[in-house]
Amino acid sequence: MNTLIKTSNLQISSIELTLKSIVEKDLLFNIPIYQRLYVWGEQQIRTLLADLYRAYLIDKDKNYYLGGIMLTENNNKLDLIDGQQRFTTLWLISKVLEGDLGKFSYTYEKKRKIARISFSVRDFANQYFNYTNASISLTQDEIKELEPISDGIELIRNYLKDEIDEKERIEFSSFIYNHVLMVATKMPSDTDENKVFEAMNNRGVQLQQHEILKSTLLSKIKKNRDEMHQYALLWDACSIMDDYLEKNIKLVANLEWKQLFPDIDKGEKQDELPNDILRRLSALEDEKPSNFLLDILNEEILETEQEVIDDTIKKKKSKKGSESERVRSIISFPMLLLHTLRIYQFREIKDITADDSAEVKGKDLIRIFNSYSSYFETEKSVKAFINLLWKVRKQFDKYVIKWISNDEQKDEIHLIKRLYQSETAFQRRAPKTNEGFALLQSMLYHSQQIITHYWLTPFLNKMLDVDDASQLNTYLEKLDNEMFCNERRDLRTISFEVMQYGVNELKGNTDFVKKTLKSKLGTSYPSYWFYKLEYILWLNRDILNKKDSWQDYKMTAKNSVEHISPQNPKPEDVNIVFDLTDSEEKRVNKQNDFGNLVLLSPGMNSEYSNKTFNSKKVDFMDKKRLDSLKSDLIFNNDKWSWAKCKLHRRQVIKLFVNHLEN
């Protein structure tokens, strides 16, 4: 595609670009000073990587459209006015993955190798991009500004290690190089870039996919306007993921607590939302709701319903002041819809197979639902799905962790807050002590792909039949063992298949686990095994004499495997796991033993480097927060050696086996 669009006196050209065509044209790109350096985090990077890899697996000869970028000429370079986060991420992927992508990462200028991306004024960033493997002098402020980039590189490296086989990387690199397609819009060179950039960031919010899906489904109920409105309210309440359902339904229906829960005046206590929510909404139908579009199918959309919801939330909060506690869901609403669709398939669709089950890919919500449109051709089926969505969301809030933070604490933590009824309202309370149920879910959250979380499908399905935290905790432990402590299988299909299993049929393979933990994988160990071990250690804190010191342990994001006895020890380091007489192969195997490894955040990884055992121990003990139980066990030793390493590994394997067999 190569078009020319005339707007007033402006000439704006658009052209399709692949990374290969960028290399062939030898294009260079610059990030203007008015743009932030790089801010993408784990979720955005993982989403892009997962989408790219899935597109490669589905059809490696088909183009993958990554959206548009906006450019303007600046001397011999092209300024990236819009799309620099995606473009910079592609550069980071190229640098790590290499192969064909190496041609995109760097070019040559007067025989000097330079990065294809540069930064206006930020010389320190240019140095980093051109000399990431060399020692460069940076201030603390510059290091902090570069952290998202260095963390991004580490995250990409670990994602490729955990998710993509070594033999696939060359082909995957070639796919990205040849088939990732962008539409580049080139603005005239005299364009005021600041104004364009400001306009791009202030443009109106487009209708989201789940809002379009809502309109499509509710069109089946359009004969009964009141019912359609009631189901729309259920949908809207479920769609606000970063708060609790009882607040959402009260908010979107514009109701008081006593209207929604009339028994509150009678002193009757309840710890969950009513199951007959539709009947209660129907009884209140005479009270005309305010602030919402009732005719959601009007072809001329004046304002999206989500915008109305957001506006209502702002008005409510402005009246009562900003709440100090913040709640954030571990999944998006499109993901919840797709997990619910999978549960609907399992419960309502005859002869469905795991291979036919829906995938969890929030970005393709409309496409996925369209492929199963035959399910929702009647009013009855649409009502059944939205009723199921309400039940799933209600149990999701009751039994699934959320990110919780407040003004007093620096970090978000995972908690399951229980619903309690006071004299005039409802409130959520955190448990007084750390709960294994929440820690188990936190382990799965941190160790699995955040854009899918396939373990949630069977877990949410089980909640519809079992309404007891202890039983659900047991089920989730067994489910985890079945899904992740066996030979690697497709998570979409296995998570669907296991919904027909009884809890006693869910088993991990102890031989597979022992074999894995005895392997000498070094930094190639998937993060899952370290997270799983943290949970098992916490469960066994009594027998390990760590009951008090480990009680309040919380899992945090880590993705970097580090050696306790370093790969390149200092000459004075006597706490090493190999003998000087060992062969090179034997030395490497000892260093790469699971007993000699811990999982750290990228920042901690760089701090460890090749420090001695004693130095690492001092650093660990000086930290105010306990961030690794495995490290705590290791640093309980005064010295470190191959004998200590083997003993630690054997202890770990025994705990794993006991956990799987109980």
Determine if residue 609 is left, alpha or beta; phi over 0 gives left, psi from -120 to 50 gives alpha, anything else beta: left
The reply to whether 213 and 186 lie within a common domain is no
Phi then psi for 287, rounded to 5 degrees? -80, 105
At 305, the pLDDT band (50, 70, 90 cuts) reads very low
Phi then psi for 111, rounded to 5 degrees? 65, 10
At 304, the pLDDT band (50, 70, 90 cuts) reads very low
The answer as to whether 75 is a domain residue is: yes
Q: What is the DSSP letter of 417?
A: P
The answer as to whether 488 is a domain residue is: no
- Say how far apart CA 441 and CA 217 lie, in whole Å: 32
* Highest mean pLDDT of the ranges 85-89, 140-144, 211-215, 301-305: 85-89
The answer as to whether 454 is a domain residue is: no
Query: H-helix or E-strand containing 35?
Result: none
Angle between helices 436-447 and 469-484 (to 10 degrees): 30
pLDDT digits (tens, 9 = 90+) for 102-123: 899 888 887 788 888 888 767 7
User: In the chain, what percentage of residues exceed pLDDT 90?
Assistant: 49
pLDDT digits (tens, 9 = 90+) for 40-84: 888 888 888 988 988 888 888 888 888 778 888 887 888 888 788
Residue 294 tokens read as 């009732």
At 10, the pLDDT band (50, 70, 90 cuts) reads very low
Whether residue 306 is predicted with pLDDT greater than 70 in this model: the reply is no
Residue 68 tokens read as 């548009």
The reply to whether 148 and 243 lie within a common domain is no
The reply to whether 164 and 45 lie within a common domain is yes
Whether residue 615 is predicted with pLDDT greater than 50 in this model: the reply is yes
User: In the chain, what percentage of residues exceed pLDDT 70?
Assistant: 82
pLDDT for 199 equals 46
pLDDT, average across residues 176-183: 91
The reply to whether 9 and 94 lie within a common domain is yes
At 262, the pLDDT band (50, 70, 90 cuts) reads low
- Say how far apart CA 570 and CA 610 lie, in whole Å: 7
Q: What is the DSSP letter of 204?
A: P
Residue at which a domain ends, from 169, 201, 233 = 201
At 259, the pLDDT band (50, 70, 90 cuts) reads confident
Residue at which a domain ends, from 201, 227, 254 = 201
Q: What's the structural domain count of the chain?
A: 3
Residue at which a domain ends, from 406, 421, 436 = 421
The reply to whether 397 and 338 lie within a common domain is yes
The reply to whether 193 and 216 lie within a common domain is no
Chain mean position to CA 509: 27
The reply to whether 535 and 555 lie within a common domain is yes
The answer as to whether 90 is a domain residue is: yes
At 170, the pLDDT band (50, 70, 90 cuts) reads very high
The reply to whether 113 and 228 lie within a common domain is no
Query: H-helix or E-strand containing 109?
Result: strand 106-109
> pTM for the whole thing?
0.72
- Say how far apart CA 261 and CA 263 lie, in whole Å: 6
485-489, Cβ contacts within 8 angstroms, sequence gap of 24 or more: 485/509, 485/512, 485/513, 485/532, 485/660, 486/512, 487/512
Lowest mean pLDDT among 9-13, 142-146, 658-662: 9-13
The reply to whether 194 and 261 lie within a common domain is no
- Say how far apart CA 473 and CA 394 lie, in whole Å: 17
The reply to whether 285 and 147 lie within a common domain is no
Q: What is the CA radius of gyration of the chain?
A: 27
How many residues are listed for the chain in this entry?
662
Give the Cβ contact number of residue 46 at 10 Å.
Answer: 18
Lowest mean pLDDT among 48-57, 310-319, 443-452, 626-635: 310-319
pLDDT, average across residues 452-459: 98
pLDDT for 550 equals 96
- Say how far apart CA 444 and CA 483 lie, in whole Å: 11
pLDDT digits (tens, 9 = 90+) for 456-497: 999 999 999 999 999 999 999 999 999 999 999 999 999 999
The reply to whether 222 and 320 lie within a common domain is yes
Chain mean position to CA 21: 32
CA of 43: how far to CAs of 330, 332, 380, 525, in Å? 11, 11, 37, 21
Q: Angle at the Cα of 46 (from 133 to 15), degrees rounded to 5?
A: 85
pLDDT for 188 equals 63
- Say how far apart CA 568 and CA 476 lie, in whole Å: 41
The answer as to whether 452 is a domain residue is: no
pLDDT digits (tens, 9 = 90+) for 537-568: 999 999 999 999 999 999 999 888 999 999 99
Helix or strand or coil: residue 98? Answer: coil
Q: Which domain, by its residues, includes 630? A: 509-661
The answer as to whether 126 is a domain residue is: yes
The answer as to whether 311 is a domain residue is: yes
- Say how far apart CA 340 and CA 229 lie, in whole Å: 21
Residue 332 tokens read as 């998006």
The answer as to whether 480 is a domain residue is: no
Whether residue 241 is predicted with pLDDT greater than 90 in this model: the reply is yes
At 424, the pLDDT band (50, 70, 90 cuts) reads low
Burial of 407 (0-12, 13-18, 19+ CB in 10 A): exposed
Helix or strand or coil: residue 185? Answer: strand
At 528, the pLDDT band (50, 70, 90 cuts) reads very high
Q: Angle at the Cα of 537 (from 574 to 478), degrees rounded to 5?
A: 140
Chain mean position to CA 80: 27
The reply to whether 521 and 652 lie within a common domain is yes
